[in-house]
């Protein structure tokens, strides 16, 4: 059972549009909206010759079920292609008799495809074939439509299949001809290139992104390793088979990420090469190794000093149609309608040649300006490119710069920014470039003016890549964590709280209004009104940024302290800093904790605090997660030393440090070791809630070798009890000579806290305050920000109610005077 995922970003043209089609240079930037493709073979549809359907997962459990599969009468296996977009219905596919051809429109597949619109579960499909109806023609055209919609995916499937077949040593290769059951998979497409809620299409190059993501995911699925240039070429081949006229610039940006200088391949040459492969005289492998005439992709080194601004004018444009219109105009040379002085086709072609020469010069100038961060040179370069495109539009009778795009450019120019249309024009997006330090101020101003003219400012940035070419690995991981934490959320997970029961107090002898839930944390001078905080979760991706923004607003409204997710991504890549600093932006007055790994240096820890202007720092311990994560760390030998150095550096800045686990808990022994290197606060981060071992096991995809670690660690309650029984941890110094080591250790509790009663139980077991991650994330994602505010406000009130029930006026009173049973036995701590 295998499950692989890959991301590819959308793109925007920065310069050199139209001329790129004829081999001139262009600049294209990948933007931080992505298409994600998931390939899995877990739940294939099987149909026997009687039309009865099964799910392949029903035959995977044990040997006897596998034998049952063998007994099926002529079973046919189907993979399913799905997209989350409402407009894209699922499409079923199967292999032909020789395992090579993909069959979509055979009658069986057709019935299944059509039935699928009413069903999300393949096993629910009708067992019997629908009789042929008078709607048959209708169905034919539906199939054609679906094939067209999925044409890029389908082409990627075919190309990677051929590529895998050429690779003898590859595991899983499709050599078992005649066996149509093997190497079938389901392929799922998710995209955030367009606005999911409103259906607005921003023209960010979804065909290219879907092709790149599909090639990348399928290569992973076959166990094929591709370099970025190979991925780019393979995706260009797949895409050229669907659309002959494209330049491939969008594919290159999607494959390489970042800012890309691109020169198109020679189309006729590539067509001839593909023909040679089809006739058996060459191979995809040979074609990838060859130098492609004229073809050039180069990453531009554009520093963090420049930021892209993007406005959407609201009219989706068809690049293919616009390019076609310009080409037709150039060929015909008969543009009397637009140009009264009749000119011959020859003159137009000369004019077009000149346009290409000028465009090339202009693009080189813009590339230089981008790499050197020169706004002045960008102003003249963009203005020149804009003028060239305007002329081209006029001479060919094509509306490239619409009145709205003109307005977009004028507003940006008015703010001193270089600006132009992006891509084929005719609507869609315009771009501007700003200095990073001016970005916030300029964006606010331009956004308003654009809005007044009906132009939407898009919150886009140039998408990152890492040097391995595995684009946005970090961003993908962050998104996986959020997705899997939500999927694995279990309202009844066992963090040990059910073992802790309060002995009721029938005579509370106080009023609800007497209860004070405030706690002093860290240095006694810091007071939180409620002993509750939003624990570390995210940052480092677009989705993470949005969640951080929401959580920050929630924290500001409810007065709760909050922690960011690990800032490692931002420390590696400064452009991701904003996905964290958004917390401070939306919660300027709140108590905010930054979060770094125990492998961080003191400088990195200080930087993390600075990015968030944080009040405290969390250092996370996650050895189990790292070891299960395929790309995780393997060396933890310096952790305790690092922690000591960080604590000492932050001590001099008066920034308190909390060392926290992330779901495997902490023993008293661990806490003592931390205390001995100067740590004064820990968060036990116990087992029973969000489970990062299980999350990483799910990310590993195939049946993970580490499932046995899913229940690794101490629960939150076990951790608290172990710590509570260790006098050395909790003792307070009597005087300066006391061996009890300067100050008292503060213990925070987190891990599997699902109710206000769990909060009070944790406080009773010694916690100074209680952190919640998974439960709050679950509410936020499923019910939204307002619901989370409501939940937190209810918890705050309910914590007071429970304390009143116990007759406890404050947290100290609760700790000292309430009585508990653990597993029905009186507990003395």
Nearest approach, Cβ of 217 to ligand FNR (angstroms)? 22
> Tokens representing 769?
């305050």
Nearest approach, Cβ of 518 to ligand FNR (angstroms)? 22
Nearest approach, Cβ of 794 to ligand FNR (angstroms)? 17
Read out DSSP for 549-602? Answer: HHHHHHHHHHT-EEE---THHHHH-GGGTHHHHHHHHH-TTS-EEEEEETT--H
Q: How far is residue 706's CA from residue 692's CA, in Å, rounded to a whole number?
A: 12
- Give 423 or 688: the residue with its C-beta nearer to ligand FNR: 688
- Give 391 or 494: the residue with its C-beta nearer to ligand FNR: 494
Q: How far is residue 587's CA from residue 560's CA, in Å, rounded to a whole number?
A: 10
Annotated binding site: 477-478, 536-538, 566, 595, 625-626, 660, 690, 752-754, 773-774
Q: How far is residue 152's CA from residue 215's CA, in Å, rounded to a whole number?
A: 10
Q: Which residues contact 403 (CB under 8 A, 6 or more apart)?
A: none
Ramachandran class of 417: left when φ > 0, alpha when ψ lies in -120 to 50, beta otherwise: beta
Q: How far is residue 282's CA from residue 275's CA, in Å, rounded to a whole number?
A: 9
Four-residue CA torsion sign, 597, 600, 605, 608? negative
Nearest approach, Cβ of 713 to ligand FNR (angstroms)? 11
Helical axes 206-221 vs 249-256, angle rounded to 10°: 50
Q: Outline where DSSP puts E strands in 74-119.
A: 76-83, 91-95, 102-103
- Give 396 or 535: the residue with its C-beta nearer to ligand FNR: 535
DSSP H helical ranges for 75-205:
107-116, 136-149, 151-166
Nearest approach, Cβ of 648 to ligand FNR (angstroms)? 21
Nearest to 232 by CA among 246, 205, 250: 250
- Give 40 or 775: the residue with its C-beta nearer to ligand FNR: 775
Four-residue CA torsion sign, 237, 241, 244, 250? negative
- Give 564 or 818: the residue with its C-beta nearer to ligand FNR: 564
**For tokens 């970003």, what's the residue?**
9
Annotated binding site for substrate: 477-478, 625
Nearest approach, Cβ of 605 to ligand FNR (angstroms)? 13
Nearest approach, Cβ of 770 to ligand FNR (angstroms)? 9
A 10 A CB-CB count for 575 gives 17
Q: How far is residue 195's CA from residue 324's CA, in Å, rounded to a whole number?
A: 27
- Give 358 or 622: the residue with its C-beta nearer to ligand FNR: 622
Q: How far is residue 814's CA from residue 78's CA, in Å, rounded to a whole number?
A: 61
Nearest to 753 by CA among 705, 699, 695, 685: 685
- Give 5 or 750: the residue with its C-beta nearer to ligand FNR: 750
Q: How far is residue 550's CA from residue 544's CA, in Å, rounded to a whole number?
A: 10
Note whether 449 and 515 are within 8 A (CB). no
User: Which long-range contacts link 607-610 to residues 24+ away (Cβ below 8 Å)?
Assistant: 607/567, 607/571, 608/567, 608/570, 608/571, 609/650, 609/653, 609/655
Residue nearest to ligand FNR (CB): 689
- Give 421 or 548: the residue with its C-beta nearer to ligand FNR: 548
* Longest Cα separation, the chain: 102
Nearest approach, Cβ of 408 to ligand FNR (angstroms)? 37
Read out DSSP for 416-464? Answer: T--EEE-TT-SSSEEEEEEEGGGHHHHHHHHHHHHHHTT-EEE---BPP
Nearest approach, Cβ of 535 to ligand FNR (angstroms)? 4
> Tokens representing 67?
């034998």
Annotated binding site for Mg(2+): 626
Nearest approach, Cβ of 658 to ligand FNR (angstroms)? 10
A 10 A CB-CB count for 46 gives 21
Nearest approach, Cβ of 542 to ligand FNR (angstroms)? 15
- Give 423 or 685: the residue with its C-beta nearer to ligand FNR: 685
- Give 295 or 533: the residue with its C-beta nearer to ligand FNR: 533
Annotated binding site for FMN: 536-538, 566, 595, 660, 690, 752-754, 773-774
- Give 493 or 804: the residue with its C-beta nearer to ligand FNR: 493
Nearest approach, Cβ of 680 to ligand FNR (angstroms)? 18
What residue ranges bind ligand FNR (CB under 6 A)?
A: 481-482, 485, 535-538, 565-566, 595, 618, 620, 660, 662-663, 685, 689-690, 750-753, 772-775, 777
- Give 188 or 535: the residue with its C-beta nearer to ligand FNR: 535
45 has which bridge partners? 55, 78
């Amino acid at each position: 059972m295998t499950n692989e995922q890959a991301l590819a970003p959308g793109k925007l043209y920065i310069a050199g549009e139209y001329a790129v089609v004829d081999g001139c240079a262009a600049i294209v930037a990948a933007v931080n909206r992505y298409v994600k493709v998931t390939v899995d073979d877990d739940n294939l549809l099987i149909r026997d010759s009687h039309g009865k359907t099964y799910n392949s997962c029903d035959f995977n459990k044990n040997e006897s079920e596998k034998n049952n599969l063998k007994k099926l009468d002529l079973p046919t296996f189907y993979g399913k292609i799905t997209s989350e977009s409402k407009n894209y219905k699922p499409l079923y596919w199967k292999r032909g008799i020789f395992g090579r051809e993909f069959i979509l429109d055979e009658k069986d597949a057709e019935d299944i495809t059509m039935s699928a619109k009413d069903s999300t579960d393949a096993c629910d499909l009708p067992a019997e074939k629908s009789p042929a109806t008078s709607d048959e023609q209708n169905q034919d055209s539906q199939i054609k439509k679906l094939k067209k919609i999925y044409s890029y995916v389908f082409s990627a499937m075919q190309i990677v299949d051929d590529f895998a077949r050429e690779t003898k040593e590859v595991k899983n290769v499709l050599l078992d001809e005649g066996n149509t059951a093997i190497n079938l998979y389901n392929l799922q497409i998710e995209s955030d290139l367009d606005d999911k809620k409103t259906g607005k299409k921003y023209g960010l190059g979804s065909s290219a992104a879907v092709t790149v993501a599909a090639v990348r995911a399928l290569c992973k699925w076959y166990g094929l390793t591709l370099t970025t240039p190979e991925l780019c070429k393979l995706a260009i081949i797949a895409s050229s088979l669907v659309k002959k006229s494209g330049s491939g610039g969008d594919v290159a940006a999607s494959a390489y990420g970042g800012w890309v200088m691109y020169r198109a391949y020679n189309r006729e040459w590539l067509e001839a090469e593909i023909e040679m492969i089809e006739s058996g005289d060459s191979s995809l492998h040979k074609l990838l190794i060859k130098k492609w005439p004229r073809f050039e992709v180069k990453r531009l080194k554009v520093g963090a000093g420049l930021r892209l601004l993007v406005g959407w004018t609201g009219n989706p444009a068809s690049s293919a149609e616009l390019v076609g219109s310009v080409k037709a105009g150039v060929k015909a040379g008969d543009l009397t309608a637009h140009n009264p002085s009749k000119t011959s086709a020859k003159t137009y072609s000369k004019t077009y040649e000149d346009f290409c020469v000028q465009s090339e010069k202009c693009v080189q100038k813009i590339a230089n300006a981008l790499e050197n961060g020169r706004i002045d040179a960008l102003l003249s370069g963009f203005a020149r490119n804009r003028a060239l495109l305007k002329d081209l539009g006029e001479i060919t009778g094509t509306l490239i710069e619409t009145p709205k795009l003109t307005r977009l450019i004028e507003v940006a120019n008015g703010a001193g920014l270089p600006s132009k249309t992006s891509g084929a024009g005719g609507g869609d997006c315009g771009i501007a470039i700003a200095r990073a330090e001016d970005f916030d101020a300029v964006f606010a101003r331009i956004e308003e003016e654009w809005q007044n003219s009906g132009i939407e400012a898009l919150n886009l940035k140039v998408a990152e890549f890492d040097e391995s070419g595995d684009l946005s690995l970090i961003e993908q991981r962050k998104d996986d964590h959020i997705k899997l934490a939500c999927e694995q959320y279990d309202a009844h997970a066992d963090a040990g709280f059910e073992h802790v029961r309060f002995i009721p107090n029938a005579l509370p002898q106080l009023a609800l209004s007497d209860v004070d839930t405030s706690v002093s944390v860290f240095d006694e001078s810091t007071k939180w009104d409620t002993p509750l905080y939003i624990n570390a979760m995210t940052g480092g991706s677009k989705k993470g940024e949005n969640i951080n923004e929401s959580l920050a607003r929630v924290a500001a409204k409810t007065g709760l302290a909050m922690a960011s997710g690990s800032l490692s991504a931002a420390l590696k890549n400064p452009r991701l800093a904003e996905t964290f600093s958004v917390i401070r932006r939306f919660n300027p007055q709140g108590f905010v904790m930054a979060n770094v790994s125990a492998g961080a240096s003191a400088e990195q820890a200080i930087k993390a605090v600075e990015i968030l202007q944080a009040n405290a720092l969390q250092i996370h311990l996650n050895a189990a997660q790292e070891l299960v994560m395929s790309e995780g760390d393997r060396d933890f030998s310096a952790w305790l030393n690092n922690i000591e150095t960080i604590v000492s550096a932050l001590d001099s800045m008066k920034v308190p440090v909390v060392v926290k686990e992330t779901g495997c808990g902490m023993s008293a022994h661990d806490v003592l070791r931390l205390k001995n290197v100067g740590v004064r606060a820990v968060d036990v981060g116990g087992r029973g809630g969000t489970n990062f071992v299980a999350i990483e096991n799910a990310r590993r995809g195939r049946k993970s070798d580490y499932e046995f670690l899913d229940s690794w660690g101490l629960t939150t309650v076990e951790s608290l009890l172990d710590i509570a029984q260790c006098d050395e941890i909790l003792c307070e110094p009597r005087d300066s000579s006391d061996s009890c080591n300067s100050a008292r250790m503060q213990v925070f509790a987190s891990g599997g806290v699902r109710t206000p009663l769990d909060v009070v139980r944790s406080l009773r077991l010694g916690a100074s305050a209680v952190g919640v991650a998974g439960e709050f994330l679950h509410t936020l994602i499923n019910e939204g920000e307002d619901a989370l505010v409501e939940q937190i406000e209810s918890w705050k009130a309910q914590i007071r109610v429970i304390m009143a029930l116990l007759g406890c006026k404050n947290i100290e009173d609760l700790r000292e005077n309430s009585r508990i049973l653990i597993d029905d036995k009186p507990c003395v701590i």
